[in-house]
Structures are given as C-alpha cells and as structure tokens.
C-alpha cells in the first residue's frame, strides 16, 4: 500500500529522473558546440592587435553571443524538455498519477534543467572569459550573470514546455525576436526582456555602458529575475494541476 510522498522526497525523485532523461549525448554535444563557439570568438579577441578597447569588445561579445544565445538556448533546450518532453511523449502520467503534490514536481523539474544547463553555460563562458585575458572581473561578472540567466530562463521555459507543444520552436522565436531584437530598442523594453537583467549585471560589474543597461542596479538585476522565477514556477504548478494528461 502506498503512502504520500513528502515534497523534499518528490523533488529529489523528479530531479534524479529528469537529469538522466535530459542528458542525451546529442543535446550535450550540440550545446557544447555553442560554448566552444564563444571560446573561439574570445580567442580571436585576444589575438587581435587592432582593437581599441579589448575589454569593451570582450563584454560586447559576451553580451551578444553569451547572453543572447548560449544562456537562453541551453536553458530552453533543457527546461523546455524537462516536463515538455514528458507531456508530449506521454510519460508525464508517471509523474502525475502519484500521491505527490504538484509543486515539488515542478521544482524538481526546474532543478533538473538548471543542474544540466549550468555546467554547459557557466564552464564554457567562464573559460572563454579567461581566454580573453582582460582580467578576472569579466570571469566573475560572466559567471554571476550566467547563473542568474540560467535560473530565470529555465523557469520561464519550463512553463513554456507545459503550455505549448514544440516549445523549442516557440522558445527560439522568443529568444531571437523578443530577447534579441525588440528588447534592444530601449531601456523600457529592455526591462521587459530577461536579457536586460543579465546584461545589466555584466555592464554594472564591468562598469561599461551597454546601451543604457547600467540603469539597473546589480541587486535589481538579481531580485527581479528571482520574482520571475517564483511566478513562473507558480504558474507551472497551476498549469500542471489543471492540464489534461494524455
């Protein structure tokens, strides 16, 4: 006879299962290639003699490649799949029809996505920061912004995976159109894009103005994503509770 499963136990179980499900060789290799791309560009910055301000160039490269592509795409691939794949292939029933509360399932899935996405973003970006040779300040700023970015993007894309089929396609559209383009048109829109916060952390820590993104303090750039995470996880819980399971 079964008993209810405590929330910490549920989180642990879901996390352990989904980490194994998410870590496929194809995904890891494809996403590592993104990180390597950043490393190659960082190396070219270091080797270039003609740059007026290598620090600014490095920060801009991390802004464009690291925080507009690497962080959101790695988070999308894992977080969108964490519950989204289960929803689409029909295995969600094995998490849903259990004497477990819904929120630990959501938190466990989020932590699984974060656990897998963090090493695949922070390590390549950290190494790339070191490759630029512009100082350890860029390393610290990159790591902090990458951690914040992975945490918040993962929460948002986890929700997306529960809401929409083919979340990867929708997510890439969101990253390229909203995060990549629209949010560049002004600081007001910038605040409505998650990229604005990772960018602000980078800009503040490096004391470089990136089109007005130093307007947000580092603490704001951490607190707002934290709120977004909580709201996204709450919505995911409500969604999991109310959705129809195939």
Please say which residue, 13 or 139, places its beta carbon nearer to another protein: 13
The residue count for binding another protein (CB under 8 A) is 26
Binding mask 4-33 toward another protein (x if CB under 8 A, else -) reads xx---xx--x---x--xx------------
Is residue 246 within the footprint of another protein (CB under 8 A)?
yes
CB neighbourhood size of 95 (10 A): 22
Residue 53 in the binding site for another protein (CB under 8 A): no
Q: Cα(182)–Cα(245) distance, rounded to whole angstroms?
A: 35
Tell me the CA distances in angstroms from 37 to 15, 41, 127, one per residue in order.
29, 6, 12
Q: Which residue number, 90 or 173, has a Cβ lying nearer to another protein?
A: 90
Residue 40 has a CB neighbour count (10 Å cut-off) of 11
Minimum separation from the CB atom of position 20 to another protein (A): 5
List CB contacts of 238: < 8 A, sequence separation 6 or more.
Answer: none
Closer by beta carbon to another protein, 104 or else 196: 104
Annotate each residue in 88-127 with x if it binds another protein (CB under 8 A) or - if it does not, as one string: -xxx-xxxxxxxxx--------------------------
Q: Which of 221, 58, 61 is nearest to 151 (CA)?
A: 221
Q: Give, for 57, the enclosing helix (H) or strand (E).
A: helix 54-61
Residues that bind another protein in the complex, under the rule CB under 8 A: 1-5, 9-10, 13, 17, 20-21, 89-91, 93-101, 244-246
């Amino acid at each position: 006879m079964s008993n209810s499963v405590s929330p910490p136990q549920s989180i642990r179980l879901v996390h352990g299962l989904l980490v194994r499900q998410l870590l496929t060789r194809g995904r890891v290799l494809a996403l590592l290639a993104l990180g390597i791309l950043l490393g190659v560009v960082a190396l070219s910055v270091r080797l270039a003699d003609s740059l007026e301000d290598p620090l600014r160039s490095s920060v801009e490269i991390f802004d464009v490649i690291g925080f507009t592509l690497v962080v959101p795409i790695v988070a999308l691939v894992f977080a969108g799949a964490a519950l989204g794949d289960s929803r689409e292939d029909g295995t969600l029933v094995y998490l849903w029809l259990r004497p477990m509360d819904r929120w630990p399932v959501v938190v466990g899935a989020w932590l699984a996505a974060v656990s897998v996405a963090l090493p695949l973003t922070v390590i390549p970006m950290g190494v790339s920061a070191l490759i630029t040779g512009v100082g350890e300040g860029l390393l610290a700023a990159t790591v902090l912004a990458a951690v914040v970015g992975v945490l918040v993007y993962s929460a948002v894309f986890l929700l997306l995976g529960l809401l929409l089929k083919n979340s990867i396609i929708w997510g890439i559209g969101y990253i390229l159109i909203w995060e990549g383009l629209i949010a560049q048109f002004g600081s007001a829109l910038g605040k409505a894009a998650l990229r604005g916060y990772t960018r602000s952390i980078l800009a503040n820590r490096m004391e470089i103005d990136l089109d007005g993104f130093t307007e947000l303090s580092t603490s704001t750039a951490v607190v707002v994503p934290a709120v977004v995470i909580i709201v996204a996880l709450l919505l995911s819980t409500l969604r999991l509770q109310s959705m129809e399971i195939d």
